[in-house]
Amino acid sequence: MTVRVRFAPSPTGMFHVGGARSALQNWIYAKQQGGVFVLRVEDTDAARNKPEWTEGILSALDWIGISRGSYEGPYFQSQNAGEHRAAAARLYESGRAYYCDCTREDVQARTGSQHQGYDGYHRDLGLGPGEGRALRFRTPDEGTTVVVDLIRGEPTFENRLIEDFVIARGDGSAVFLLANVVDDMTMGITHVIRAEEHLPNTPKQQLLWDALGVKPPVWAHVPVVVNEKRQKLSKRRDKVALEAYRDEGYLAGAMRNYLMLLGWAPSGDREIVPWSVIEDEFRLEEVNPSPAFFDEKKLRAFNGEYIRALPVAEFIDACQPWLTGTGTIAPPPWQPEEFDADAFAAVAPLAQTRIAVLSEIVPNVDFLFLAAPTIDEAAWTKTMKDGSADLLDAAVAAFEALESWDAESLKSTLEAVGAERGLKLGKTQAPVRVAVTGRTIGLPLFESLEVLGRERTLTRMRAARLRLV
């Protein structure tokens, strides 16, 4: 039997990091088993679906390494509506489902509670199909439904506690429970690897598989992903869009590595490992069923490690969207003609050790390409104290006299200026850094001044000195 897994997102918004984690787990499992990964877009929510969301899913999968052409699909759930209706009809004709025209208010009036589920009122009344009548599945009165789950063991559900649930709406269209089952049957899905939030639906879906006479798939419900407050990640509250992390400058390799650690770990005391190791070592049955904490700070640290591991040439290439404003990246604060590729290449190794996400490259190097630095006023106020004017005058004079404009000469010269005033280098260089770069922190100062050049450095220092008058 060929293993067939599926990833079935809904195109109703940005691509959730939890969905990306599930996609990767399905992808690896299929590869390990010599199986097939199927992409099915569950697009039956016409009011919320948008074509751009579908394209966003495909692009996000491309980015994390599940590229178009390497999987089966994408299929679209809406294209299978005929099969959904046919399955609903079979269940009705076999007596496994019945029609009901009760409203929520009807049920509440009969039960006296707004919290109680459907009471089975139409179960034996023989109501036939008709406009506005929903089709409900006839849940067994007795016994249990056992879900065999690779991660969670054998969760057991009492059938008497499962209400007669709706499988088709009044207009005849299938609801998610039935459509999902029929699609998996039609596509020959053998293993369903999905988020824990779907576990409560699983006994209902397994009952549908049984009623339709097909063996259920192997289930594996991976842990829910939570925030630092141990709340399920929410689009309304948390930063969950994979595209947002991509556009901020997270590397696909770092994101893949980190997502796979949400509920699982490679062997040994290590977390940052080559993707080939993850592909070899990942085991579904080793996934921890407990909620998995999505720690953005840890992801950021991961990304910094991945950035520092890049060859410099690859780092330079990776920074280009932020340096040029291509794709979905906002334009940088300089004009295209102001950008100097050679100057950037000169400071790239310095920047590579200091940034955690690629978008941070812009504030680290903008002083090289702007006609004048963008002054951080808080940094100016903090740094330009009494004595700063005198220090800048002396530094300008000393720099003007330099024969060689290189980092070592600049450093030794400024050290001497500071020593004459009883200042250590840290205190001495702070006003110079703010005058030249506009900030108190950034790339190593003297290497930056070397790349910026004598004329531009001195012009900025003189301008800062005039501002202190």
What is the enclosing helix (H) or strand (E) of 307? helix 296-309
Of these residues, 204, 229, 235, 298, which one is catalytic? 235
b (16+ CB within 10 A) / e for 208-228:
bbebbeeebbbbbbbbbbbbe
Block residue for tokens 């495909």: 58
**Cα distances (angstroms) measured from residue 199 to each of 204, 222, 231:** 10, 10, 18
Q: Burial code of 141-153, b = ≥16 C-beta within 10 A, e = fewer?
A: eeeebebebbbbe
Residue 239 annotated as catalytic: no
CA dihedral sign, ordered 418, 421, 422, 428: negative
Strand segments, DSSP code E, in 25-133 are: 36-41, 72-76, 97-100
Helical ranges in 144-282 per DSSP H: 176-186, 202-211, 242-248, 252-260, 275-281
Q: Quick one: tokens of 462?
A: 């003189």
Question: 388-400 vs 407-420: helix axis angle to the nearest 10?
Answer: 140
Find tokens 């290590």 and name the residue.
Answer: 270
Single-letter code of the amino acid located at 91: L
Strand partners, 6: 38
DSSP 149: B
CA 376 vs CA 392, 396, 438: distances in Å:
18, 22, 6
Instruction: Find out whether 177 and 162 touch, Cβ atoms under 8 Å.
Output: no
Among 436, 29, 76, 340, CA closest to 194: 29
Helix (H) or strand (E) holding 157: strand 156-158
- Signed CA dihedral, 351, 299, 65, 41: sign only: negative
Task: At 236, give phi and psi (nearest 5°).
Answer: -80, -20
Q: Which residues are catalytic?
A: 235
